[in-house]
Structure 1
């Protein structure tokens, strides 16, 4: 019992000494001067010849594997990084008006082919936050190798959904939810980014996921339109990016 009493007293005594030493150190650490230094960074716009690689529209944090079969994007700090090509498959001739869905896009991620919603991607690394707009136009009616038109056929692009990489905090551009293309070349708005919107890399995927995307891009063909067997009908679309938002 005597030992235990001394142990407690010893601890109290050490604490008191430590407190006294701490006060002495504070007194000796009086500030004798200070100095302010700079921390800085400088940004430059992306080089004009740079081509921004496309990303996985389902997960924009994942880059796509290089693919020689994919049409390369435009170059520069404001560019179109990727656009899907629409394939409506092989269809039986019908005398009724029919709507056909475009196949899902197929891209390579990590060495594997994966299906994703059809999409278009824009990259803005100019550094001026001035905004931009993306439009699309159809260059004539679908026609076969004998220049026979698929009269009255109409391509529609719906369910636009803007996504970007995680953690950017950038305000999304406005996307057109329902685009009906006209073979006469009428321009249709796809995405519009006002000032302080749409910086970085943005994907407009047609359908939030593969289920929604299954009928997001369609081709409607009137029943009365002449359809020649074993003919491949095709047209082209022109996607135009400009630095003048609406």
Structure 2
């Protein structure tokens, strides 16, 4: 019996070892399967369409990507290639002189979600292109009429005086540096907007280039930046936009002279 008992013990031990080995093997396989797992795949899709002819864009602060602002003056156009803003130029009051003098334009003002009281900002023109083409260019021209009084005052005219765009910086919401200068140019310092309704080109895309899905701003101030929207000016006037008041033009006191500027944004041919 002792021998039989010993055999039984040996058999029992042997079976226990085999079962333990099987359990370890199964556990290892389960752990390996959990570590590898299985992948599942899904898809995301989208396509885009061009905005309609009556679509309106938002004005953004130049040299930012999406900081929206409200500028009370100026004007805009609609459609997928549009002007979100072009400025008015107010030269306030100038002294009468018999020689040619230059007068600076008062800054525009703006508000935003974070700026609830109007603050000054340099004048700017802003082009938005959402036509969806990778090689669709554009041009921006401006023309002006002579400064004159209302018909009630006898249509007094400044025959030779004209607006001069003395300074300009170009910004884009995606392109910077050489990537921008290889796409957009056309502005020249001291550009004279003649008072004979003749178009003067002030900005354009380079042939074969596009600004699709972006806004391009031409700021008429060389010192403008995100942190200094008036380029260091402390007098409320922008040195980048001036009225050349020609000495030989007759100026009559206490009369308001106005001119009409026409900004023309067109698709490049």
With structure 2 as the length reference, what TM-score do the two structures score? 0.72
Equivalent residues in 2 for 1:140-151, closer than 5 Å: 140-145=145-150, 146-151=154-159
SS at match of 1:197: coil
Partner of 1:177: 188
Partner of 1:76: 79
Partner of 1:11: none
Partner of 1:97: 100
The verdict on how the C-alpha distance between 1:103 and 1:35 changes in structure 2, with shifts beyond 3 A counting, is same
For residue 220 of structure 1, report the CA deviation from its aligned partner. Answer: 1.1
Q: Give a deviation string over 1:95-153, Cα, whole Å, max 9, x none.
A: 22211111111122232211111111111111013111111111x21112221211321
Q: Is residue 203 of structure 2 the alignment partner of residue 203 of structure 1?
A: no
With structure 1 as the length reference, what TM-score do the two structures score? 0.78
Structure 2, unmatched stretches of 5+, are 1-24, 225-229
1:238 & 1:46 partners in 2: Cα distance? Answer: 24
Structure 1, unmatched stretches of 5+, are 1-19
SS at match of 1:62: coil
1:189 & 1:26 partners in 2: Cα distance? Answer: 72
2:185 & 2:42 partners in 1: Cα distance? Answer: 43
Q: Which structure has the larger Rg?
A: 2
Q: Which of 158, 171, 194 in structure 2 is aligned with 1:163?
A: 171
Partner of 1:16: none
2:37 & 2:119 partners in 1: Cα distance? Answer: 65
Partner of 2:18: none
